[in-house]
Structure 1
Amino acid sequence: MKYRQLNLARIREKVTDIKESLAFLRQYAMQNDETFLKNKEAVHAARYSFIVLIEAAMNIANHFCARLLDKAPETYAETFLLLGEEGIIDPQLAQRLAQMAKFRNLLVHGYGKVDDRRMLRSMREDLSDVEAFIREITKIVMEAEEKNNG
């Protein structure tokens, strides 16, 4: 794989943002349903954490599309789909991350339509996809560092 000047510091910064948001969301996911859903501050904080997490992941994906594929995705979801099509990340993972990008759009543009129960379920069941994304990104970063240092 060719590494056209990946901005490794920027990628690391975004991975840190993702990890911090993951930790926050996992804390809320441990609460029972009604405790979480009745706490408006917790619900809003979880929504914000999802936005930060997904934005950071999309930022990394866009950077990879530009630097590794020399492509500009037309949608946020497409950033992940292109990486999956090109074998940079697992194609099935790319599909699931594309759905998260769509969820981000709902959070940002249509707060009234967000199903907080569904969001809580996603906090409990889907965050492993983001962790898998981080693992795949970390491998690429390590390869780029080896190439740059070797």
Structure 2
Amino acid sequence: MTLSDDDIERIVSAVETMEASLAVLAGKQSLSRKEFTTDRAARDIVERRFVKLTEAALDIARTLVSQKRGAQPDSNPAVMVALGHMDVLDDATTEKMTQAARFRNVLAHTYGNAIKHDDGYDALQELDRYRDFLFAVREYLDDSGVLE
């Protein structure tokens, strides 16, 4: 696989965004469920970081899918499914990242009490799906010889 310099820069920038967001979110994991549901500022930070984190993952996925297939699926969850079909992600990571893409859509398109605080708290406890995604992408790029 051959990625352009722009594609590589886009992926590197997205990885940096993901790592920064993961660090912030990891710092919020120690909140109890009650603290999370009652602390609006903490929820706002977590929700915004999840949007940024997932957008960056989607940007990586779109870049890889476009390069391989020439076209992108028309929904965020479908982009993650396409990455799974390309054998970049295993089945479990594909499913988890598809759920993450749906969660991002909820966060980006709803507000106030429409967002279930328990869903945000549960997602906060499942950051490994993003780490698994990053590991799988790195392995795919290594195996493809892109990073040499």
Above 0.5 in TM-score? yes
1:4 CA drift (Å): 4.2
Q: Does 1:5 align with 2:4?
A: yes
Look up the equivalent residue of 2:102 and give its one-letter code: K
Alignment partner, residue 146 of structure 2: 144
2:71, 2:2 → 1: CA distance?
14
Aligned residue pairs, count: 144
Aligned residues of 1:21 and 1:50 also touching (Cα < 8 A):
yes
CA positional deviation for 1:71: 2.5
Does structure 1 residue 123 correspond to structure 2 residue 144? no
Q: Is the contact made by 2:97 and 2:129 (CA closer than 8 Å) also made in structure 1?
A: yes
Show the 5 A alignment for 1:68-79.
68-79=68-79
Deviations 1:120-150 (A, max 9, x none): 12111x211110110111223333022xxxx
Residue 56 of structure 2: SS of its match in structure 1?
A: helix
CA contact 2:3–2:146 (8 Å) conserved in 1: no
Q: Point out where structure 2 has 5 or more consecutive residues left out of the alignment.
A: none
Cα deviation code 1:24-71 (max 9, x no counterpart): 111111112222221111111100000000000001100111012223
Name the CA distance, whole Å, in 2 between partners of 1:92 and 1:34.
29
The C-alpha deviation readout for 1:83-117, integer Å capped at 9, x for no partner, is 10121221321121111111111101112321112
Aligned residue runs from structure 1 range 22-41, under 5 A: 22-41=22-41
**Structure 2 residue 114 is the aligned partner of structure 1 residue 113:** yes
Give the corresponding residue for 2:104.
104
SS of corresponding position for 1:31: coil
**TM (normalized to structure 2)?**
0.90
Q: Letter of the aligned partner of 1:145 in structure 2? A: L
The one-letter code sitting in structure 1 at the alignment partner of 2:29 is: A
Further displaced range: 27-36 or 47-56:
27-36
Instruction: Name the TM-score, length of structure 1 as normaliser.
Output: 0.89
Partner AA of 1:117 in structure 2? D
Rounded to whole Å, the distance in 1 between the matches of 2:41 and 2:124 is 16
| 1:6-21 equivalences in 2 (<5 Å) | 7-21=7-21
RCO comparison, higher one (Cα < 8 Å, 6+): 2
